[in-house]
Amino acid sequence: MNERLTPLERIRRKSDFASLYRDGGRIRGRYFHLVFRRNELGYSRLAVVASRKVGSAVVRNRVKRRLRELFRRNKELLREPTDLIVIARPESGDAPWAEFREGYFSSLTTIFRKRISS
């Protein structure tokens, strides 16, 4: 299994961010918020946003690494190609790994429930 996060799997363009914020679904969690939308690319993409409210550069980078790791290791949980923006909340800097991980998985479960009901 290839767990590498390729450059294609990152959301980088301003237009992609704008359309995702405009048209995407939203989930609010304790440690982060998710903005998501199905895409037609055939693979899922990720962007992680951590403002200075999250903490120092060291803390922000640790939070972003954790989120990228969760995405990389659990790509198969996104059954359909999905664009995903994860916005870290200030509480995420102090979050224990187990709770952080549980929050991510429960958010993915919520995404599937929202897709099924719509």
Domain ranges for the chain, please list them.
Answer: 32-117
Q: Which CATH class is domain 32-117?
A: alpha beta
* pTM as predicted: 0.86
Measured distance CA(26)–CA(49) in Å, rounded: 15
Measured distance CA(84)–CA(103) in Å, rounded: 15
Q: Check residue 33 and give its pLDDT.
A: 93
Choose among 47, 107, 54: nearest CA to 78: 107
Q: Check residue 11 and give its pLDDT.
A: 94
Model pLDDT for residues 63-76, shown as the tens digit of each residue:
999 999 999 888 88
Model pLDDT for residues 25-52, shown as the tens digit of each residue:
899 989 999 999 988 998 899 999 999 9
Q: Check residue 115 and give its pLDDT.
A: 60
The burial class, CB within 10 Å (0-12 / 13-18 / 19+), for 72 is middle
Average pLDDT over all residues of the chain? 88
